[in-house]
A and B are shown apart, each in its own frame.
Chain A
Amino acid sequence: MILSKSSHLPNPAPLDVPASPPARRQRRKLPRNASLLVGIVLTTIFLAVALVSFFYLPSNPNIPVIRNRLLPAGTAGHWLGTDVLGRDIVAQLMVGARTSILVGAGGATLSLILGLIAGLAAASSGKIADEAISRGADILLSIPGMVTALVLAATMGSGALTTILALTAFFTPSFTRVVRSAAIGVLNEDFITAARLYGRGKIFVLIRHVLPNIAGVMIVQFTLYFAAGILTEAGLSYLGVGVHRPSISWGLMLNEAQQQVGISSPLAIWPGLAIVLMVLGLNLLGDGLRDVLDPKLARRAS
């Protein structure tokens, strides 16, 4: 994703839509939950790596050992080699996983909370409030995400917190839209009307009835934004407005690797590969979840 907010566009069909339309010839089909399985596996691997990094690292990822600089992959003790200051690549990748998860999840969570509040408010309040919130979301979406991130970094100093805030600024408007349309769908159901007639307050209805019914959509969106957040954080760190040493991020590793492009190419490969695998895992997880939880809900949200 080109630092894009494509996630705010209507969600495309999940990747393994099962049953073919009746008029078509029969063809071999893939297992329904292939993407879900792969997604779970990949995501778990990365979560595990990040967790392990708190207890064990092959060597210190921040202390330079100049005599070990630029060792190739396969060297004893440094399976993927070392960087320009002799720091172990595997250790840096592991610590980088922490940052990606922290920032990606942080941004997605904060957007989820804010998006829920705004979206539910828009769906259940009067027309004016709805217009105001929706238009507000549209305005926020029109300011290029990059600019918001840059200016935030300039204002508050770059770092993990600023990146999380920038991600929140990107995703909350789209989350709001998704929540709003899902909630509107649920609010039109008969059982809601019944509950209101029965005398239940608006907030009660929202929490007790709407929330559980849109939970599936929320979870799916969360994983997709988590993935987008990781990509975005990597991009920002690559540009130099994300996290800084001693924090490590895969994007920062790529930034440092670019200096060495003419000298040691593998440095540029590993962090990028890590990003691809983690984001892929999360995207597959999201798609698989969407498929499993309720294909109809997915349609409603688009």
Chain B
Amino acid sequence: MAIYVLRKLAFFLGALFIASVAIFLLIRGAGGNVAAVVLGKGATPEAINALAHTYGLDRPMAVQYFDWIGNMLSGDLGRSFRTNESVADLVTARLSVSIPLAFSGLVLGLLIAIPVGTYAARNVGTPSGALFALVSQIGVAVPVFWAGILLSLLFGVRLGWLPTGGWTDWSVSPWGAIRSLVLPVLSLGLIMAAVLIRYVRSAVLDVMNQDYLRTARAVGMTRTEALLKVGLRNAALPLVTIVGLQIAELIGGTVIIETVFSLPGLSRMMLANVAAREVIVVQSTVMLIVVFVISINLIVDLLYGLLDPRVRATR
């Protein structure tokens, strides 16, 4: 067991290192310079070079890389060149949008997917089961931004019940913040539900064929009881893995929903900073996300290893 954990940790650190180099090289490879973006149209090359110098962008690449890594390891994520805000502040502010969005979307998706997927599994092969399966297939095919645009058209423009976009901060008005989140969470949740239904259905189908379910029936539980009490618990494990992985993807991947509804979230901030070539902000933010994702993967792997000894043996 200890070796298993150590190996996982070693991989974890190695992965972080490689990812950091990859991110650094990738963003630096992009043409353009934040100094040019700041100074805009009329700037002279001298002014741009001077500004780039004050930002420290003309130092050798290796120096800049180790400087950045060194700072990150000691907790300093760096600052935006244009506003001098610390990356930590920038990220924290954005998380207050992205986390509620991602989390609520996932929860809504699960709330819909679990009952629907279970029903579809129970009724496999019949028209009603197939209908749900079809609906889920369609849902997976719907681009999330289209869902967002349509919802915003209906509830925002036609009915006027909810804002079509924009964000009211929690500190300004919690109710306003919730209102700003309703349509985005709905769009996200519906699509997530479509994606998850298939996995729930698959997991429940697997479980339905197992012996312990028959045992439960034999002991006297009704079909439903057996499914709910015994079946779902066993179906939960793979589902938890999938949910864990989805969380990881969501944090960095909500940029489209954030764009549709003009929410100042993490992904959109990254988009804006990539566009402005704010290299430090992008590097540090991406590293944070990568750390988060790899950590989740690590935890899931460890949990699996813990819960299922067979996994440890074959790896």
Contacts and interface: CB of A to CB of B under 8 A. Distances in A.
Do chains A and B directly touch (beta carbons under 8 Å) in the complex? Answer: yes
Interface of A: 1-6, 9-10, 12-13, 15-18, 20-21, 23, 27-30, 34-35, 135, 138-139, 142-148, 150-152, 154-155, 227, 231, 234-235, 238-239, 251, 254, 257-258, 261-262, 265, 268-269, 271-272, 275-280, 283-284, 287
Contacts of B192: 2
A265 B154 CA distance: 10
B256 A147 contact: no
Contact of A2 (B31, B133, B214, B250): B250
Interface residues of B, number: 78
B133 A144 contact: no
B245 interface: yes
Contact of A150 (B11, B149, B206, B271): B271
Interface in B258-284: 259-260, 267, 270-271, 274-275, 277, 282
B290 interface: yes
Contact of B145 (A35, A142, A254): A254
A143 B293 CA distance: 8
B205 A272 contact: no
Contacts, number: 200
A143 B208 contact: no
A265 B297 contact: no
Given A4-B253, A28-B126, A283-B137, 16 more contacts: A1-B195, A2-B257, A12-B198, A17-B125, A27-B123, A139-B294, A143-B293, A145-B252, A155-B26, A254-B143, A257-B149, A258-B149, A265-B153, A268-B150, A269-B150, A272-B149
- Most chain B C-beta atoms within 10 Å of own C-beta, residue among A29, A146, A272, A287: A146
9 contacts: A6-B249, A17-B125, A147-B274, A154-B274, A155-B26, A239-B255, A268-B146, A275-B146, A276-B146
B141 A4 contact: no
A152 B215 CA distance: 55
A10 B125 CA distance: 22
Contacts of A139: 15, 18-19, 22, 294
Contacts of B118: none
B245 A261 contact: no
Given A21-B208, A28-B126, A272-B149, A12 B293 contact: no
Nearest to B188: A2
Contacts of B23: 143
Contact of A142 (B191, B256, B270, B294): B294
A277 B146 CA distance: 13
B289 interface: yes
B52 to A, nearest CB: 17
A143 B164 contact: no
Contacts of B125: 16-18, 20, 27-30
Contacts of B18: 139
B199 interface: yes
Contacts of B293: 142-144
Contacts of A4: 195, 246, 249, 253
Nearest to B267: A146
Contacts of B209: 21
B15 A146 contact: no
Interface string B121-133: 0011111001001
Contacts of B31: 154-155
Contact of B126 (A10, A27, A227, A287): A27
Contact of A135 (B15, B143, B195, B205): B15
B252 A146 contact: yes
A150 B259 CA distance: 14
A271 to B, nearest CB: 8
A201 to B, nearest CB: 27
Central interface residue in B18, B32, B146, B254, by most chain A CB within 10 Å: B146
Given A143-B23, A147-B270, A151-B27, A275 B138 contact: no
Contacts of A284: 137
A13 B120 CA distance: 12
A166 to B, nearest CB: 12
For the complex of A and B, the 9 pairs showing the least CB-CB separation, nearest first, are A144-B252, A272-B146, A12-B202, A279-B141, A154-B30, A13-B202, A12-B198, A280-B141, A155-B30
A138 B11 CA distance: 10
Nearest to A157: B31
Nearest to B214: A23
A148 to B, nearest CB: 8
Nearest to B252: A144
B249 A261 contact: no
A64 to B, nearest CB: 23
Contacts of A35: 137
B309 interface: no
Interface in B140-175: 140-146, 149-150, 152-153, 157, 164
B165 to A, nearest CB: 10
Contacts of A13: 198, 201-202, 205-206
Contacts of A16: 125, 130, 133
Contacts of A280: 137-138, 141
Contacts of B290: 142-144
B14 interface: yes
A154 B146 contact: no
A13 B15 CA distance: 32
Contacts of A152: 26
A235 B275 CA distance: 17
Contact of A5 (B146, B198, B249, B267): B249
